Amino acid sequence: MSGIRTGFTTTLPVEIILAAGDIPVDLNNIFVGSSRADEFIQRAEKDGYPRNLCAWIKGIYGVAIQASSVDRIIIVTEGDCSNTFSMLETFQICDNAPNILTFNFPRNREASRLELEMERLAREVGTTIAEAEKIRIWLKPLREKLSLLDRLTWQTGQVTGGENHFWLVSSSDFWGNPFVFEKKLDEFLKVAMKRSPNERPLKIAIAGVPPIFSDLHDYLNCLGVQVVLNEMQRQFSMPNESGSLIEQYLSYTYPYDSAFRIKDLNKEIKKRGADGLIHYVQAFCHRGIEDMILRHELSLPILTLEGDRPGALDARTCLRLDTFIEMLKDIK
């Protein structure tokens, strides 16, 4: 690897970064996994970011400016969050900001546009799509192991929902080192497959962006619930079979329209036998509007949870979860 640490604001073709010899760094994971998470948010607010703005955006900014964790950043300005446009411009007026690149997912899932974006990004980081295709093929066995981990979550319960969340959300950047990631994953799977099956009568799917709460999965586990799907975390692992890098990122549901995403979500909910859905929405995020669409298109009970800053569940949210789970038990 070149040693260049390339950060990014949401999941994108990590194969291109690896093909360039760079170290991929998902800034979301650095932010939410840090003991300094509040400090990163406060830095953004001190510099002028509004208080009534998504904490993820402020956290990413704070990480990039204050943590010296990356050499350059790829900002996804289409297919993620409209706030990234303004964040891009704030980096341009910062003296100590890293170099900035951009990447755009075409909302209409147009293959030719996605291919052009990938080719442009590859040129800018010093590689080619052909080299990135080699990385895609090299990563395929690792991604298959993540699919196995997912099956052990919903088919047998040998992997908990929290463990599923941890491994799948980490597959956006493989901790910056796929070799180390795969070694640790192999060790975990070896332990998990020796566990006794632990299927539970009440099964829950979690949809939406990964929750900013640090203990949601642990709390649900204490309530005796089996989390059988972490929607977006699963998408980060690129679970669908594909014959090319273009196909792989056309099947990734997060950047595209709600209809495409809900088709996949509905299929997984039915396959996994979910009794209810928790839809996590981030405070001040435009994706909260999609809650209306999910409620219109999905036929199972839905609880919408909103989070703001990193940390543990508050008492009100715990009470809402308790009530929702009791309701599902009564229905079942």
The Cα-based distances of 231 to 11, 75, 90, 261 in angstroms read 14, 23, 31, 10
Shortest CA distance to 64 belongs to which of 37, 102, 91?
91
Q: According to the model, what pLDDT value does residue 69 have?
A: 74
In CATH, 5-129 is 1.10.10.10: no
Q: According to the model, what pLDDT value does residue 216 have?
A: 97
Q: According to the model, what pLDDT value does residue 277 have?
A: 98
CB of 168 closer than 8 Å to CB of 150: yes
Q: According to the model, what pLDDT value does residue 287 have?
A: 83
Domain boundaries, the chain: 5-129
- Contacts with 96 (C-beta within 8 Å, 6 or more apart), sequence order: 65
What type of residue sits at position 51?
Answer: R
Q: According to the model, what pLDDT value does residue 68 have?
A: 67
What six digits make up the tokens of 48? 């002028």
Task: Work out the end-to-end distance of the chain between its first and last CA atoms, rounded to an integer number of angstroms.
Answer: 53
CB of 280 closer than 8 Å to CB of 227: no
Q: According to the model, what pLDDT value does residue 324 have?
A: 98
Q: According to the model, what pLDDT value does residue 81 have?
A: 82
Q: According to the model, what pLDDT value does residue 286 have?
A: 82
- Contacts with 157 (C-beta within 8 Å, 6 or more apart), sequence order: 197, 198, 199, 200, 226
What are φ and ψ of residue 82, in 5° steps?
-65, -20
Write the burial class of residue 129 (CB in 10 Å: 0-12 exposed, 13-18 middle, 19+ buried): buried
Which parts of the chain sit beneath pLDDT 50? none
pLDDT in tens, 261-313: 999 999 999 999 999 999 999 988 888 888 999 999 999 999 999 999 999 99
Segment holding 194, helix H or strand E: none
SS3 of 70, please? coil
Q: According to the model, what pLDDT value does residue 11 have?
A: 94
Cα separation, 231 vs 209, whole angstroms: 8
pTM of the model: 0.95
